[in-house]
Amino acid sequence: MSQRDELGRRSEDTAARYLKRQGYRIIARRERILRGDIDIIALDGRTVVFVEVRSRSNTSHGHPVETIDQRKQRRLVDLANAYIRRHRLEDCSVRIDVVTVTFDQPPPTRGWQLWPQRPEPLVEHFQNAFDSPW
C-alpha cells in the first residue's frame, strides 16, 4: 500500500471514529458507485449523510478542504444521487458533509517543549459543506 493510500485509510478510519462519537450511525464505507466511491455514508438521526473525507499530512500546502473544487462537488452530488436512486431513498432527508483530518500539526509558538511528539490528528467537520440540490 502506498503512503498516500495509507494516509487515506487512516483518515477515513479517524473520520468514522469521530462521527460515531458524535452519534452518527455508519451504514457504509468506501461505497463503490458510478465508477467512483463515497467515503462514508452515515445516518444523523433520520438524515442520510454522504461524507467526503479529505486529509493532509500537514497544512504547509493548504487546508484539506481546499482540495474540493467545483468539479469534485458535482461528482459527489452525482454519486450521492446514484446511491439514493439505487437504494430508493428519494423520500429521505439528505446532505453532504466533509470531514478533514490533518496529521502532524505544527507545535504552538510558545511552550513547544511540552508539545507531544505525535499529537492526535486535527479533525474538522463541515456539515452541509456546499450547496446541493436537496
Position 34 in a domain? yes
Position 134 in a domain? no
Of 25, 90, 89, the C-alpha closest to 51 is 25
**How much is the pLDDT for 134?**
60
Residue 118 banded pLDDT, cuts 50, 70, 90: low
The number of beta carbons lying within 10 Å of the beta carbon of residue 88 is 8
Predicted confidence (pLDDT) per residue in 50-106, tens digit: 999 998 877 777 888 888 999 999 999 999 999 999 999 989 999 999 999 998 755
Residue 54 to residue 8: CA distance in whole angstroms: 8
CA dihedral angle for residue 35, residue 40, residue 44, residue 48, rounded to 10 degrees: 10
Q: Which domain holds residue 58?
A: 3-126
Position 131 in a domain? no
Predicted confidence (pLDDT) per residue in 23-64, tens digit: 999 999 999 998 899 999 999 999 999 999 998 877 777 888
**How much is the pLDDT for 46?**
92
Could you tell me the CATH number of the domain that includes residue 40? 3.40.1350.10
Check if the beta carbon of residue 29 is closer than 8 Å to that of residue 17.
no
Q: Please give the tally of structural domains in the chain.
A: 1
